[in-house]
Amino acid sequence: MAKKTKEQIEEKNTKATQQNKKQEEKAKETKKKSRATEKEEKVEVKVEKKVEKTDAEKLAEMNDKYLRLAAEYDNYRKRTLKEKMDLSKSAGADILVNILPIMDDFERGLELIDKSKDIEAVKEGVQLIYNKFGEFLKQRGIKEIEAKEKDFDTDMHEAITKIPAPKEELKGKVVDVVEKGYYMNEKVIRFSKVVVGE
C-alpha cells in the first residue's frame, strides 16, 4: 500500500506540475496577448494621430491653395482694371489721329476763304472736306440712317412733332429730318429726329 500511495502521490504531483505548467503557459499566453493588444492599441493611437496630422496637413494645404488662388485672382483683377484704364485713355487716340488731317484741311480752307474771291472754289473745297470726313466715318463702320419719306420706325427714329401730311401717301411717314441718325456696325448710335406726317 505504501507503494501505491507513493505512486499516487507522485501521479498527483506530476499532474499538479503539469497543471502548473499549463497554467504558467496560459498566463504567458495571456501576457503575450495583452502585450500584443497593448501594442495594437498603441499602433491604433499612432495611426489615429497620423490621420489627425494628415487631416491637419490637408487643411493647411487647402488653406494655402485658397490663399494663393485669392491672391492670383486679385492680381488678375488689378491687371485687367489697369489695362482697361490704359485702353480707355488711349482708345480715342486712334480716332483723333485720323481726324487731325481733316482739321488741317479746315484750317487751310478758313485761311483761303478770306483771300478767295471765287465762291465756287470755296464751296468745292468745303465739299471735299465733307466727303473726306464722310469717308473717315464709313471706315469706322458709321452709316447714316435713311429716314426721309420712309415709314416711321421707333427703333430708328425719334419723333419731334407731327404735322398734317402734305400728300396722302406721306401719312405715317417721315416728312422732314431735323437731325440725322447714325448706325455703327448695324447698331443705332443716334436716333434720327424727325417730323412725322399724319
pLDDT at residue number 48: 63
Class of domain 46-140: alpha beta
CATH 2.30.22.10 fits 143-198, yes or no: yes
Q: What is the pLDDT of residues 76-128, one digit of tens each?
A: 999 999 998 888 777 777 788 888 888 898 888 888 887 888 888 888 888 99
Summarised one tens digit per residue, pLDDT across range 139-193 is 888 999 988 888 888 888 999 989 888 888 888 888 899 999 998 988 999 999 9
How high is the pLDDT of residue 50? 61
**Residue 55, pLDDT score:** 85
What are φ and ψ of residue 20, in 5° steps? -60, -45
pLDDT at 85: 86
Cell 491604433 belongs to residue: 44
Give the pTM.
0.51
User: What's the confidence (pLDDT) of residue 88?
Assistant: 78
What pLDDT sits at residue 25? 82
Give the C-alpha separation, 3 to 5, whole Å.
Answer: 5
Calculate mean pLDDT across residues 129-142: 90
In this model, does residue 56 exceed pLDDT 90?
no
The full set of domain ranges for the chain reads 46-140, 143-198
Q: What is the pLDDT of residue 67?
A: 95
Q: What pLDDT is attached to residue 123?
A: 87
Provide the pairing of β-strand 192-197 with 174-179.
antiparallel
pLDDT of residue 193: 92
Is 2 a residue whose pLDDT tops 90? no
- Residue 28 above 60 pLDDT? yes
Give the CB-side neighbour count of residue 175, counting CA atoms within 13 A: 18
Q: What is the DSSP string of 11-76?
A: HHHHHHHHHHHHHHHHHHHHHHHHHHHHHHHHHHHHHHHHHHHHHHHHHHHHHHHHHHHHHHHHHH
pLDDT band at 45 (very low <50, low <70, confident <90, very high): low
Neighbouring residues of 3: CB distance < 8 A, sequence distance ≥ 6: none
* pLDDT recorded at residue 12: 72
Q: Which cell goes with 44?
A: 491604433
Which pLDDT score is estimated for 47?
A: 58
